[in-house]
């Protein structure tokens, strides 16, 4: 590495070079902004996040999703200096909506940024994402895959001309309709002698966080259906999801799980959801929210209604999501 700056700075340069039609990168303070012009009065949607969760948040910058994203150091919230610089760059007079995963540092820095923005006469609010059902106390629940989903909903609402209040309201509703769980695969969960065989020594770690926070180690001997049961039942019972619900399903690898394994998981989860008469209306599978290179995945379910479905289907043009 001969170029100046940290690995994060270099990675940002790489992102700008890789997606020249979608995003532009600002340095010192570091943030990424969408290239597509935003009309006057549009609500600006901003997401800060510690690095190490890529493509969140930078991969979601663009038309119909985030106006700006601020990457912090690895697993550490960006500073109010970065967040405020992004606000100044993307504010179009319609106010600013921050999507914030529920971690102490992110909340602290966002609340301070909002206080500073308000003092400058810029209206700003935040929506807290706390979808992790592995934490019993709701106030302590961490933000997982619903962060990705909430960014899409908020961005679509803002692009369709929602006011700040209305965009906050629908994004909160999207979060409230979402539940997630992370699982770490400490040992390869792939079948070695065919599915469901020779897995007796294998364990999974149920309820892991996306910063290496430990979960509960469970031994699994019956293959994917058993793993899916352990993960999905707590999600279904928590909301609770009911027969006939329309579902948006997000299966995200944590960065160290091969796509083959994600699809193996997908087969089992579709069977389980069908058995509960839950209709998967829309879905994403791939690396959408990662934990550097660890093995494992997060599963997120959002109960869709007509408005959420319409916002999900609205056009989006970002490095990662585009339709």
Partner 1 sequence: MAQEITTNQLRKWLLAYAARIIENEDHLTELDTAIGDADHGVNMRRGMGKLQERLRDEGHSEDVSAFLRSVAMTLISGVGGAAGPLYGTFFLRAATSPTNGSSIDLEQLTQMFRYGLDGLQQRGKAQADDKTMIDTIQPAVEAMEAALAAHQSAAVVLAAARQAAHLGMKHTIEIEARKGRASYLGPHSIGHQDPGATSAYFLFETAAEVFTITGAD
Active site residues: 53, 211
Q: Which of residues 58-77 bind partner 1 (CB under 8 A)?
A: 76
Nearer CB in complex with partner 1: 80/95? 80
Alpha-carbon distance of 132 to 301, in angstroms, equals 11
Q: How far is the CB of 110 from partner 1 (least distance, A)?
A: 9
Q: Is 104 in the site for partner 1 (CB under 8 A)?
A: yes
Q: Is 49 in the site for partner 1 (CB under 8 A)?
A: no
Q: Which stretch binds partner 1 (CB under 8 A): 32-40, 78-86, 229-237, 243-251?
A: 78-86
Alpha-carbon distance of 266 to 297, in angstroms, equals 11
Q: Which of 16, 35, 36, 81 binds partner 1 (CB under 8 A)?
A: 81
Under a CB-based contact definition with an 8 Å cutoff, are residues 214 and 248 in contact?
no
Q: Is 102 in the site for partner 1 (CB under 8 A)?
A: no
Nearer CB in complex with partner 1: 140/188? 140
Under a CB-based contact definition with an 8 Å cutoff, are residues 32 and 23 in contact?
yes
Measured over the CA atoms of residue 25, residue 26, residue 32 and residue 36, the dihedral's sign is negative
Q: Is 105 in the site for partner 1 (CB under 8 A)?
A: yes
Q: Is 115 in the site for partner 1 (CB under 8 A)?
A: yes
Give the pairing of strands 216-219 and 246-253.
unpaired
Dihedral angle of Cα 107, 312, 87, 26, to the nearest 10 degrees: 100
Q: Is 116 in the site for partner 1 (CB under 8 A)?
A: yes
Inter-axis angle of helices 104-119 and 80-90, nearest 10: 50
Nearer CB in complex with partner 1: 2/119? 119
Dihedral angle of Cα 148, 97, 109, 318, to the nearest 10 degrees: 40
Q: How far is the CB of 208 from partner 1 (least distance, A)?
A: 15
Q: Is 135 in the site for partner 1 (CB under 8 A)?
A: no
Q: Which stretch binds partner 1 (CB under 8 A): 51-59, 102-110, 158-166, 273-281?
A: 102-110
Q: How far is the CB of 295 from partner 1 (least distance, A)?
A: 23
Q: How far is the CB of 4 from partner 1 (least distance, A)?
A: 19
Q: Is 120 in the site for partner 1 (CB under 8 A)?
A: no
Q: Is 216 in the site for partner 1 (CB under 8 A)?
A: no
C-alpha of 311 from chain center: 16
Q: How far is the CB of 262 from partner 1 (least distance, A)?
A: 31
Widest CA span in the chain: 64
Q: How far is the CB of 157 from partner 1 (least distance, A)?
A: 28
Pair of tokens at residue 3: 């170029």
Distances (CA, A) of 198 to 181, 194, 205: 26, 8, 19
Composition of the chain by helix, strand, coil, percent to 5: 35, 25, 40
Alpha-carbon distance of 314 to 298, in angstroms, equals 24
Q: Which of 22, 51, 79, 178 binds partner 1 (CB under 8 A)?
A: 79
Binding site for partner 1 (CB under 8 A): 76, 79-81, 104-105, 108-109, 111-112, 115-116
């Amino acid at each position: 590495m001969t170029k100046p700056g940290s690995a994060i700075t270099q990675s940002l340069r790489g992102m700008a070079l890789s997606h020249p039609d979608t995003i532009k990168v600002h340095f010192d303070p570091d943030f990424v902004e969408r290239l597509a012009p935003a009309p006057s009065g549009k609500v600006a949607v901003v997401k800060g996040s510690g690095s190490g969760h890529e493509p969140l948040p930078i991969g979601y910058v663009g038309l119909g999703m985030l106006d700006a994203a601020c990457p912090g150091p690895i697993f550490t919230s960006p500073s109010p200096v970065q967040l405020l610089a992004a606000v100044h760059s993307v504010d179009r007079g319609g106010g600013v909506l921050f999507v914030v995963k529920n971690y102490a540092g992110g909340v602290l820095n966002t609340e301070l940024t909002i206080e500073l923005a308000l003092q400058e006469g810029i209206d700003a609010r935040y929506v807290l994402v706390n979808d992790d059902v592995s934490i019993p106390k709701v106030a302590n629940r961490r933000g997982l895959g619903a962060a990705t989903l909430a960014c899409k909903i908020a961005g679509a609402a803002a692009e369709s001309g929602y006011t700040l209040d209305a965009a906050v309201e629908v994004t909160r509703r999207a979060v409230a309709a979402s539940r997630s769980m992370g699982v770490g695969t400490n040992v390869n969960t792939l079948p070695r002698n065919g599915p469901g065989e020779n897995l007796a020594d294998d364990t999974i770690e149920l309820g892991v966080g996306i910063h290496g926070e430990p979960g509960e180690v469970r031994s699994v001997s019956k293959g994917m259906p058993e793993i899916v049961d352990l993960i999905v039942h707590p999600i279904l019972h928590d909301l609770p999801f009911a027969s006939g619900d329309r579902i948006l399903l997000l299966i995200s690898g944590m960065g160290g799980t091969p796509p083959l394994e994600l699809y193996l998981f997908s087969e089992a989860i579709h069977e389980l959801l069908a058995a509960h008469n839950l209709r998967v209306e829309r879905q994403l599978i791939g690396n959408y929210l990662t934990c550097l290179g660890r093995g494992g995945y997060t599963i997120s379910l959002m109960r869709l209604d007509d408005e959420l479905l319409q916002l999900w289907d609205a056009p989006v043009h970002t490095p990662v999501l585009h339709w």
